Chain A
């Protein structure tokens, strides 16, 4: 039997880790926080795997923990090129956090009342409302990409978005096949992108990539 409170606790910890990443300017703790966030998602998968006696979740959990917590973390650290204490020059963390709050607060309530409340999503574990956490994580990742200029923070934002999709898949029981496959491919793609991008340069100016 699935304990909804335990799922709630793990999901909330994932959101707290995302908020920590948003407020943290130093790269090293940010990368570690991303590894912890991915590990928490794998804990979610393991828990459901054992609670529902489904091997799919266990495999998914192992995949996530290996690819995201270890391999991506390794590549991100390699991208840092072992510079100690390196940080992004962020300003106005407080105002960023408040805008972020307003952003996901509104988005979540709109989603809840106009989408989730209307489609009547039902799951085996009765976790339909818990999927709201995955939306919060998604908007959080999106906001991280928008507000940061460094390659590493943007990749972490992308990983957060990926994590949110996985989380949505995990919480929407039974696990959709599409998500299983896409996670595997996405993460493999992520590893390649990460290793290439972080080797290029550490920080980007605004709209640089869009210029011809």
Chain B
């Protein structure tokens, strides 16, 4: 019984950290980016202010939109909430509901959420959104393929489809971490993460200019629904980033036990600061990519993930 209580505490800590702290990392990223660019920038709590403001506002829905438009934000948020139970985003051992799906199932859930977001955006009936969706689709046919290939590759390396086993395998020995297939797949997933979370220097989600990619999907949303979608995208960023840190880039230092779970929240914060620093350096030092070059970027990421598969299968 005591074990179950411990498991419950660990579950609560992991899920609440993923849901509640995810906007904070976006805030820190924006603040640090502003600092590098010589601006004062918004407060690092700005994403929270935005979400609270939007949650209080009323929803305006276009006449043409169907029920999908209204209910999808809740479903998408629910999917991200479910994923936060499944993968090691804070705590390094399985928690409640973790055996529901495996690593590949997690990737498919991410894809499902993206698909639902696209469908519901088109349901608004706006021409501008349709334009944005076609633009997004011309990119994500690569990114979703890469996401699934990467998770597939991880499964092949360890011979299991469980991310917790991968985490354990990587921390066992440094030679596991430095395996060629793991290095290739880490680079591929890092490139994918940069794209998925809008950290590529191709778009400026804050400015909503012509090059905006992901913001076009949210164009017709307002009020509470927009707030939920924005919060969902912060959670998605946190989930993908934490998987990148814990299963690929930096799998060490995580503690076990209920107190260890609390400590893990702090350790994850430090790991995230490292990731934010790297992404700010990339975003501010590279020249801005032309929009259609994003496809090339994603193609390279896809190729690296498939190359990793070849290395895993043929060389071992």
Contact A15 B307 (CB under 8 A): yes
**Are A94's CB and B184's CB within 8 A?**
no
Q: Is A32 an interface residue (CB 8 A)?
A: no
Q: Which of A17-43 contact B (CB under 8 A)?
A: 19, 23
Q: Tell whether, in the assembled complex, residue A97 and residue B315 are in contact, meaning their CB atoms are under 8 Å apart.
A: no
Q: For the complex, what is the distance from the CA of A40 to the CA of B184, rounded to whole Å?
A: 18
Judged by a CB distance under 8 angstroms, whether A132 is at the interface is yes
Q: A129-B314, A132-B314 are in contact. Are A94 and B306 (CB under 8 A)?
A: no
Interface stretch (choices B114-122, B154-162, B297-305) = B297-305
Set of chain B residues within 8 Å of A98, measured between Cβ atoms = 299, 302-303
> Using a Cβ–Cβ cut-off of 8 Å, how many residues does chain B contribute to the interface with A?
17
Q: Is A62 an interface residue (CB 8 A)?
A: no
Bound state CA distance, A108 and B314, in angstroms? 9
Given known pairs A12-B184, A15-B307, A108-B310, the reply for A93 and B315 (CB within 8 Å) is: no
Docked-complex contact A94 and B314, CB < 8 angstroms: no
Q: Which residue of B lies closest to A102 (CB)?
A: B306
With A8-B180, A12-B180: A112-B303 Cβ-Cβ less than 8 Å: no
Assess the A23–B302 pair: CB atoms within 8 A. Answer: no
Tell me the bound Cα distance from A19 to B295 in angstroms: 15
Judged by a CB distance under 8 angstroms, whether B296 is at the interface is yes
Query: In the complex, which range does the number of interface residues on chain A fall in?
Result: 20 to 34
Specify the chain B residue showing the minimal Cβ separation from A113.
B314
**Cβ A97 vs Cβ B314 within 8 A:** no
Residues A105 and B306 in contact, CB atoms below 8 Å apart: yes
Min CB distance B164 to A, Å, is 26
Residues of chain B with a CB closer than 8 A to A115's CB: none
Cβ of A5 under 8 Å from chain B: yes
Q: Per-residue 0/1 for B274-302: is the Cβ within 8 Å of any A Cβ (1 yes, 0 no)?
A: 00000000000000000000011011101
- Minimum CB–CB distance for B174 against chain A, Å: 13
B316 to chain A, nearest CB (A): 8
Secondary structure dominating the interface of A:
helix
- Who on chain B is nearest to A9 by CB? B180
Distance (whole angstroms) from the CB of B308 to the closest CB of chain A = 9
Q: Indicate whether B142 reaches chain A with its CB closer than 8 angstroms.
A: yes
Name the residue of chain A whose CB is nearest to the CB of B292.
A94
Please state if A101 and B302 are interface contacts (CB–CB under 8 Å).
yes
B314 touches A19 (CB 8 A): no
Q: A15-B307, A130-B315, A132-B315 are in contact. Are A94 and B296 (CB under 8 A)?
A: yes
Known: A23-B299, A98-B302, A130-B315. 9 other contacts (CB 8 A): A5-B180, A23-B300, A94-B142, A94-B299, A97-B299, A101-B306, A105-B310, A129-B316, A132-B315
By a beta-carbon cutoff of 8 Å, the part of chain B in contact with chain A is 142, 180, 184, 295-296, 298-300, 302-303, 306-307, 310-311, 314-316
Chain A residues within CB distance 8 Å of chain B: 5, 8-9, 12, 15, 19, 23, 93-95, 97-98, 100-101, 105, 108, 112, 129-130, 132, 136
26 sample A-B contacts, Cβ–Cβ < 8 Å, listed by A number: A8-B311, A9-B180, A12-B184, A12-B307, A12-B311, A15-B307, A19-B307, A23-B299, A23-B300, A93-B295, A93-B296, A93-B299, A94-B298, A94-B299, A95-B299, A97-B296, A97-B300, A98-B303, A101-B302, A105-B306, A105-B310, A108-B314, A112-B314, A132-B310, A132-B314, A132-B315
